[in-house]
Structure 1
Amino acid sequence: MPQHPYQDIPATSHWRKAFDGMAPNQIELVGDFKFKLSRHDKVATAGSCFAQHIARHLGRDGFNFFVTEPGHAIGSPDIKKAHHYGIFSARYGNVYTARQLLQLFDRAYGSFSPTEDCWLNASGRPIDPYRPSIEPGGFSSKEELLRDRVQHLRAVRTMFEHLDVFIFTLGLTEHWRSAIDGSVFPVCPGVAGGEFSPDKHVFHNSSVNEVIAELREFQDKLGQVNPGAKIIFTVSPVPLMATMEPRHVLVSTVASKSILRVAADQLEREFSHIAYFPSYEIVTSPFSKGSYFGPDLRSVTEAGVEHVMRTFLAHATEGGTGGHAPPAAPGSGREQATFDAQAHAIVNVMCDEDLL
């Protein structure tokens, strides 16, 4: 029999063998992860809405979720959550794009100060254009907003300088920019607050080359303030809420996620301290048959989140329990009903994009 390289590839590298006899919730798309998180590592998170699940599960499994902006000690957990404390490592809200992440770093270290520094919401109260949802109802005054921003950016600096691992979930390529200074917003001006002006605000959809360049610049700047930092990129599986491109929102979703996935792959190939984790593939791949999305075809179910985090903890951490065990196949009618309810339960996350 002729010899060829494909005869010796592992089963996971062959489509039929990779899925043969496997239940969907037992399939793991990760083998030898590039590096592993220990329980002593300070793990910081940022990114799109889906990134909130990573922080929640890391803390639940006893890992060191690194929070540098925890809120006042006397505040209740519910109040802190409503004000976006502890959802990410600092109170920056959703960071959807590579450009927005790079901008956050530059603002924290004083190398960039956006011209547009305050919006008013529908009630006339000030809100922060770069984290419009973090203060329910808005700030009491612009002075309070500016004071809060100073301590917030201080917390961001502390995070970058002292984290061991930074997990960033890439969410979007489409975004709105200031035509004046190029600053980027997490949501279109006029949606959560502020006033949209075609003379002041421009739509931009980043190319793969732009995303790669922005991620390279970010990792370089992070390395300057924290030489030992490691980075894990993921891509959010959550589809776009809306697109400004003249095409179907699903087509824009596939284009956007493909660009982000290629960029993450390129960075992982280039740098030994950067790894990629396939949360996007776990949720969206054919083996799940769409069961990891809710009735709106967009919200990720608890079963999907559990599969992602079970795989992450099992392969990307030292001593992780792997999360909850996969649910057993249902038997009786009552067990079937319970199984279906758990599989379709939607995990609530705070998401600026939902304002659209």
Structure 2
Amino acid sequence: MSTTALDNHTQFQSIVGQIRTLAYKYIEDKDFVSAQLAFQKLLELDPTDINARFIYAQLIDDGSHKKRAEARDMLLAILDEHPEIFNEPSEGNLHLIRNAAVRCSHVGPFTRSMELFRKLARASNLAADYFSLSEILTQNNEFEEAVAALEKTIKLDPAYDNPINRETLELARSNVKKGKARDVKGRAKVGRYPETKDFLGDLQTLITNHIAVNLAAAPKFVDKSTRFFTMGSCFARNLSKSLTDSGYASHHMEISEYINTTFANRVFVDWLRDATIDPEIRDRIVELLPPGSSKANTLSVIRQANVFILTLGVAAAFFDRETGAFVLPRPSALNSRALAEKYKFRTASVQENVDNVLYLINFVRSISPGIKVIVTVSPVPLLTSFEYESVVQADCLSKSTMRLVAHEVVNNSNLENIWYWPSFEVFRWAGSNASSFFAADDGAAWHVSEDKVSATVRAFVQTFSPA
């Protein structure tokens, strides 16, 4: 190195040293704003300074998710670049690991948080670290290890031997014992919200592992000989088409794409069973039947079906202002606006819809007693509301109502051989975390992606089919 280069290097090191001294002085004086700026400058000049990176990561964490994640990434980068830190349990190294583990427990990834807390607790042998390990293990359903970590916590520090932790241990041991006595899937129902990587990964895996996970032990009754009958909203038609495209026999009964309420389904059933109904509604049903459909062939399809998929559409419908009776409108935009003046457009209650759905299922089972029933909620939004100015809010109310209807029918109506399939959750929750669930095919915000429908059907078939 030449004399000039040596002088420049010495001068550079002197400047770095001065900034470092100033940065630490700001920390001592609790002037954290100035400290952050000083450490930022220090890292621009010397990005290899591990201590400066560690301190700067803590300084930028203002409690917001964005900054906490930024701090987490800086701390994890240090640990990834210097794995020897885990083998040298100095106070500073343990503090670094602890900070990284805590931030992972706040903003994920939770698996990394568990990994870090495991290493930290073993290295520090501190009660507080074992207690934190127990907490993060519990959140991730690692109950047996969580119990052991809490027991270790109390052993290391009797201060943790308090009534709350003793009760926690007693209940946890009981749950672990029950879990061992029965199938693992029979343990306490504890779920964890999927991470970003899960939402952005394979959709079928996301559905199986995080959305329809409760159906893992469901009976396996679907094979290529299974005959499906679908009814309800236009989404039921999408499911039926996807099943047919996959080689399954499926028939969709659609009164009209625009009539997707349980009230319309109920009057359709009344028409099928020759019940007394309003003559205008009877004529409208006949008018709206798809070409080639009739009462006789519809009944025949139901009798031959093995699985009935009912998709609940929307909760809002037209009703007579004086009598309160359901009105079956003509599906045109102009006519709907006229009807909005003549009739009352309202969101029907959960109980009204539950009664309609049970009426429909009871009829289907009266002519096909052994049929399996799958209830879903359509993710397709309400397009127009004459009740609320914001259709987004109206749609939220409508879908929330129908989701409660599905829950009540499936879980609280004493029906057997009935399951809820979470199509709504797949599109609205997975779709809110990943793109292309809506509008992918034609740009319409209210049209679901055919590709995602197909993936949903594949997950459905996988869930209810033998391995």
Task: Note the 1:112-123 alignment, pairs <5 A.
Answer: 112-116=276-280
Contact 1:129/1:185 (8 A) holds in 2: yes
State the AA in 2 paired with 1:129: R
Does structure 1 residue 282 correspond to structure 2 residue 426? Answer: yes
Structure with greater proportional helix content: 2
Gaps of 5+ in 2: 1-149, 151-168
Identity %: 20
Contact 2:345/2:387 (8 A) holds in 1: no
Separation of aligned partners in 2, 1:131 and 1:193: 20
Does structure 1 residue 43 correspond to structure 2 residue 228? Answer: yes
1:208 to 326, 332, 350: 350
Contact 1:132/1:192 (8 A) holds in 2: no
Contact 1:96/1:171 (8 A) holds in 2: yes
1:303 to 451, 459, 466: 451
3-state SS in 2 of match to 1:299: coil
Does structure 1 residue 233 correspond to structure 2 residue 410? Answer: no
Separation of aligned partners in 1, 2:275 and 2:333: 27
Q: Kindly provide the CA deviation profile for residues 164-216 of structure 1, in whole angstroms up to 9, marking residues without a partner as x.
A: 211111111111245679344265677469974855x4323210011111112
Deviation at 1:315, TM superposition (A): 0.8
Contact 2:346/2:387 (8 A) holds in 1: no
Deviation at 1:236, TM superposition (A): 0.6
Q: Which residue of 2 aligns with 1:15?
A: 192
3-state SS in 2 of match to 1:129: helix
Q: Which residue of 1 aligns with 2:392?
A: 250
Contact 2:302/2:364 (8 A) holds in 1: yes
Deviation at 1:6, TM superposition (A): 7.9
State the AA in 1 paired with 2:384: A
Number of residue pairs matched by the alignment: 273
State the AA in 1 paired with 2:451: A
3-state SS in 1 of match to 2:269: helix
Contact 1:212/1:266 (8 A) holds in 2: yes
Q: Kindly provide the CA deviation profile for residues 9-42 of structure 1, in whole angstroms up to 9, marking residues without a partner as x.
A: 87994325x5485325231222233553232232
2:359 to 197, 204, 217: 217
Gaps of 5+ in 1: 67-87, 119-127, 136-147, 320-356
Q: Kindly provide the CA deviation profile for residues 42-100 of structure 1, in whole angstroms up to 9, marking residues without a partner as x.
A: 2111121111221112112222224xxxxxxxxxxxxxxxxxxxxx2x46333511221
State the AA in 2 paired with 1:15: R
Q: 1:41 to 1:169 in 2, by over 3 A?
A: same
3-state SS in 1 of match to 2:318: strand
**More RCO (CA 8 Å, sep 6+):** 1
Task: Note the 1:33-112 alignment, pairs <5 A.
Answer: 33-34=218-219, 36-66=221-251, 88=252, 90=253, 92-94=255-257, 95-112=259-276
Separation of aligned partners in 2, 1:15 and 1:209: 30
Separation of aligned partners in 2, 1:112 and 1:35: 39
Q: Which residue of 1 aligns with 2:109?
A: none
Contact 1:243/1:252 (8 A) holds in 2: yes
State the AA in 1 paired with 2:438: F
Deviation at 1:114, TM superposition (A): 2.5
State the AA in 1 paired with 2:284: P
Deviation at 1:308, TM superposition (A): 1.3
Q: Kindly provide the CA deviation profile for residues 252-276 of structure 1, in whole angstroms up to 9, marking residues without a partner as x.
A: 1111111111111111113122111
Deviation at 1:104, TM superposition (A): 0.9
Q: Which has the larger radius of gyration?
A: 2
Contact 1:212/1:263 (8 A) holds in 2: yes
Q: Which residue of 2 aligns with 1:313?
A: 461
3-state SS in 1 of match to 2:461: helix
Separation of aligned partners in 2, 1:266 and 1:224: 21
Q: Which residue of 2 aligns with 1:341?
A: none
Q: Which residue of 2 aligns with 1:27?
A: 206
Separation of aligned partners in 1, 2:390 and 2:407: 26
3-state SS in 2 of match to 1:116: helix
Q: 1:155 to 1:251 in 2, by over 3 A?
A: same
Does structure 1 residue 164 correspond to structure 2 residue 269? Answer: no
Q: Which residue of 2 aligns with 1:324?
A: none
Separation of aligned partners in 2, 1:277 and 1:239: 18
Q: 1:202 to 1:271 in 2, by over 3 A?
A: same
Deviation at 1:162, TM superposition (A): 3.0
Separation of aligned partners in 2, 1:41 and 1:20: 36
Separation of aligned partners in 1, 2:460 and 2:250: 15
Separation of aligned partners in 1, 2:324 and 2:303: 27
State the AA in 2 paired with 1:208: V
Q: Which residue of 1 aligns with 2:402?
A: 260
- Greater CA deviation, 156-165 or 169-178? 156-165
Contact 1:24/1:288 (8 A) holds in 2: no
Separation of aligned partners in 2, 1:234 and 1:296: 22
Q: Could you state the TM-score of these two structures normalised by the residue count of structure 2?
A: 0.51
Q: 1:21 to 1:227 in 2, by over 3 A?
A: same
Separation of aligned partners in 2, 1:306 and 1:43: 16
Contact 1:161/1:226 (8 A) holds in 2: yes
Separation of aligned partners in 2, 1:253 and 1:131: 29
State the AA in 2 paired with 1:230: K
3-state SS in 1 of match to 2:226: coil
Contact 2:350/2:405 (8 A) holds in 1: yes
